[in-house]
Structure 1
């Protein structure tokens, strides 16, 4: 059964978490990141010292170039979520949110998180954290040991609201709520 470990983090923590997940051997297509499109996020997403137009995507009309730390994640791009604004997203959540953004569904992020198996109240908590400027990071795996390794990486980086949710589960397991 596929499970996901989810957390919220600030920009500095997000950078550390993504690097540590990569160094630990996690695959970019199993990691989702969602962050508000803000100046600090752009600075994090674009590292001038990289030579990475190969994983870079330009945001329509914004001049945003995403590369560097996020460049190896799958499906990275810029999207607008109705009622929330512009976001940088990567990984499996990008596909879920793209459909929600295009369709203009109510609570695009909340709906995508509910689709991942989170109860509505938890999904709304994560949405409020993202609205407040935090990143949402998720690692999906078939292996419970992999989920545990991801949880430890999240914890060591100081991430908040760490939850584990199974594909068939309607109840997340709150691992910390600091």
Structure 2
């Protein structure tokens, strides 16, 4: 299996990519989505039950494993340096797992560690984590070799160009994702380029 990842400025584009991945044969259990919720675009309403189940030991895999698919299992959690996120899937479970299933919190650089453990180069994982911190949405899929080209095509349609985004961050003095950094405020996210913070 290979890990294929895409960073999106727009949650709707990321959600569409998840749907296309599922339609192409990638099981929802092999797909993850992690989106910034610093602007509180996502109302946790029913997700609080999912969060309680995950904290109680059911884990995100069980929470999202129902017939409704991946996106019906979105839950809110906080990741140090990233802030509040809306997440579902194996990446969220891995990032949270370091805390023994706690939903709020996460290991320092939890996204970076989870991505690098799945084969994503550390340099890229840092940009992905920073992208979520700055208001983006990350879609990650573990795919069989025969589905890699199609998954890369799907995630490449509207995703952020990682090299360009890295260069933009570095031009502002950024060197790597910092789990101890202050969370971005909604106003700061709004000033950080062409992000679509009105996600729904």
TM-score bin, normalised by smaller chain: 0.5 to 0.7
Q: Which has the higher strand share?
A: 1
Question: Could you say which residue in structure 2 is the equivalent of 1:11?
Answer: 11
Question: Could you say which residue in structure 2 is the equivalent of 1:98?
Answer: 96
| TM-score computed with the length of structure 1 as normaliser | 0.66
Uncovered stretches (5+) of structure 1, i.e. residues with no partner: 47-55, 61-66, 163-178
The 1:39–1:148 alpha-carbon spacing in structure 2 relative to 1, beyond 3 Å, is same
| Aligned-pair CA distance for 1:104 | 4.7
Residue 18 of structure 1: SS of its match in structure 2? Answer: helix
- Deviating beyond 4 angstroms after TM superposition, the runs of 4 or more aligned structure 1 residues are 101-104
| Aligned-pair CA distance for 1:161 | 4.3
Question: Could you say which residue in structure 1 is the equivalent of 2:112?
Answer: 110
| TM-score computed with the length of structure 2 as normaliser | 0.60
| Aligned-pair CA distance for 1:8 | 0.4
Question: Could you say which residue in structure 1 is the equivalent of 2:124?
Answer: 122
Question: Could you say which residue in structure 1 is the equivalent of 2:147?
Answer: 146
Q: How many residues align?
A: 142
| Aligned-pair CA distance for 1:76 | 3.8
Counterparts of 1:18 and 1:144 in 2: how far apart (Å)? 18
User: Is residue 137 of structure 1 aligned with residue 136 of structure 2?
Assistant: no
How far does the alpha carbon of each residue in 1:41-61 deviate from its partner, in whole angstroms, 9 at most, with x for none?
x27x99xxxxxxxxx63276x
Question: Could you say which residue in structure 2 is the equivalent of 1:58?
Answer: 48
